[in-house]
Chain A
Amino acid sequence: AQSVAQPEDQVNVAEGNPLTVKCTYSVSGNPYLFWYVQYPNRGLQFLLKYITGDNLVKGSYGFEAEFNKSQTSFHLKKPSALVSDSALYFCAVSHASGGSYIPTFGRGTSLIVHP
């Protein structure tokens, strides 16, 4: 069975400090990993994804994520947090089931950036 874990319900960080939102996964075969962001009362928006190649993936709004195969992790990072980064962040993994595309999402991590 494939699964995604986001071990922190909430992450608090001061503006200007680096931030990390954690994600670990379990999947058979090669993982396709994603991060999405949800601002209040909005739908989810794509941030970045890892398919293959360089383990450090750069995405929108200055975010990046590091794929670590040995630790089965895909943590989201940003060198300097902004108050406007406050949102709900979802990690997701894609896998194949009967030939169909079935993504699995984590439960989400609420990021709060304090001024």
Chain B
Amino acid sequence: NAGVTQTPKFQVLKTGQSMTLQCAQDMNHEYMSWYRQDPGMGLRLIHYSVGAGITDQGEVPNGYNVSRSTTEDFPLRLLSAAPSQTSVYFCASTQDRGLGNTIYFGEGSWLTVV
């Protein structure tokens, strides 16, 4: 099983450039989300989606866009990269809105903005 697949694994961007982090899951999960991980900050929620066509903001949404056109895919777009967006990004999915559901994470995308 592939689970949650993220690409690219590593990326270096120049300030002001845009890019898209891709995320796909093959578990038919309704709920998908994007987190960023920074030293000493833990995981912070950027955006999430409870189903195709539905997205909402998390704790730190500024500078990021998402869309959910299919159940499988949930790309994260950086509109105009800034050094503050240097981080490790994780895509995650869970079956549905059930509070006891396990979260499945991708392997992460390491992004450096110079």
A95 interface hit (Cβ, 8 Å): yes
Q: B99 is contacted by which of A32, A36, A106 (Cβ under 8 Å)?
A: A32
The answer on a CB contact under 8 Å between B94 and A101 is yes
Q: Which residues of B contact A101 (CB under 8 A)?
A: 31, 50, 94, 96-99, 101
The answer on a CB contact under 8 Å between B90 and A108 is no
The answer on a CB contact under 8 Å between A107 and B48 is no
Q: A107 is contacted by which of B42, B94, B105 (Cβ under 8 Å)?
A: B42
Q: Which residues of A contact B107 (CB under 8 A)?
A: 42-43
B75 interface hit (Cβ, 8 Å): no
Closest chain A CB from B42 CB (angstroms): 4
| CB-CB under 8 A for A100 and B108, given A49-B100, A90-B42, A105-B42 | no
The answer on a CB contact under 8 Å between A96 and B90 is no
Interface string of A88-105 (1 = CB under 8 A from B): 001010111001111101
Q: Identify the closest chain B residue to A105 (Cβ).
A: B43
Bin the interface of chain B by size. Answer: 20 to 34
Q: Which residues of A contact B35 (CB under 8 A)?
A: 105
B1 interface hit (Cβ, 8 Å): no
Most chain B Cβ neighbours within 10 Å, of A36, A45, A90, A102? A102
| CB-CB under 8 A for A106 and B42, given A100-B48, A100-B97 | yes
B102 interface hit (Cβ, 8 Å): yes
Interface string of A45-58 (1 = CB under 8 A from B): 11001010000000
Query: Which residues from chain A sit less than 8 Å from chain B, CB to CB?
Result: 9, 32, 34, 36, 41-46, 49, 51, 90, 92, 94-96, 99-103, 105-108
21 contacts across the A-B interface (CB closer than 8 A) = A32-B99, A32-B100, A43-B4, A43-B106, A43-B108, A44-B43, A44-B92, A44-B105, A45-B105, A90-B43, A94-B99, A94-B100, A95-B99, A96-B99, A101-B99, A101-B101, A102-B48, A102-B58, A103-B103, A107-B42, A108-B42
